[in-house]
Amino acid sequence: MSEVRKLWIPGPEGRLEAALRVAASPRAVAVVAHPHPQHGGTLHNPVVFHAERELHRAGMTTLRFNFRGTGSSEGTHDEGRGEVEDVAAAASWLRGLAPAVPLVLVGYSFGSICSIRHALHDRTISGVVAIGLPLRRYSVDELARLARPFAVVQGTSDEFGTPAEVEPALDRMVPPGRLLPIDGAPHLFPGRAPEVGLAVVDAVDRILTGLSDG
């Protein structure tokens, strides 16, 4: 496993603080977006860290970053509007490192909403994985238009949406979305971050397998 390289990437409102791990011959590249910055979310969140590290261990080049106005990233929080552009900037920058392999977006909570909204407008995104999809806070009706592989890692005790609430949105998708429940876990996944990381790898592996089979 390569060491983490700390760097800044260009964003729409200035530089974005980021952490990069480069695989020698990546099978894919993955951007990992953190939870809501006004509720403590940063690129150092344990769930984000473990998801990104396990993806790298599985042979991918990975990038996690701080949204505008978070940590050392420049700019000002924009209530989820400009943050979609931050995801776009991170995806574009990472794609430049390995343009010939699939690019997957992974987002946790607020980061999942921003990742979905970017993927709706970027057809080069191969798939999206949401961790803790906060469907009681945000509408997810737009998922029906994603038309790419999609998976949700959701705690069965998530305060912002249980798996039973997530399933109807997944069933309306083409192809249908996939649900990976984490038994007994609430939204913050206390003590369960390593388990979440492995579930994310499982989800991304399925996405990549589907691409190769197609």
Tens place of pLDDT per residue across the chain (214 aa): 789 999 999 999 999 999 999 999 999 999 999 999 999 999 999 999 999 999 999 999 999 999 999 999 999 999 999 999 999 999 999 999 999 999 999 999 999 999 999 999 999 999 999 999 999 999 999 999 999 999 999 999 999 999 999 999 999 999 999 999 999 999 999 999 999 999 999 999 999 998 877 6
CATH architecture of 5-213: 3-Layer(aba) Sandwich (3.40)
- Rounded Cα distance between 33 and 31, Å, is 7
Q: What is the pLDDT of residue 213?
A: 75
- Rounded Cα distance between 92 and 55, Å, is 19
Query: What are the tens digits of pLDDT across the range 42-56?
Result: 999 999 999 999 999
Q: What is the pLDDT of residue 214?
A: 61
- Rounded Cα distance between 61 and 162, Å, is 31
Task: Domain ranges for the chain, please list them.
Answer: 5-213
- Rounded Cα distance between 132 and 108, Å, is 6
- Rounded Cα distance between 108 and 33, Å, is 6
Please choose, from the candidates 55, 62, 85, 61, the residue with its C-alpha nearest in 3D space to the C-alpha of residue 73: 85
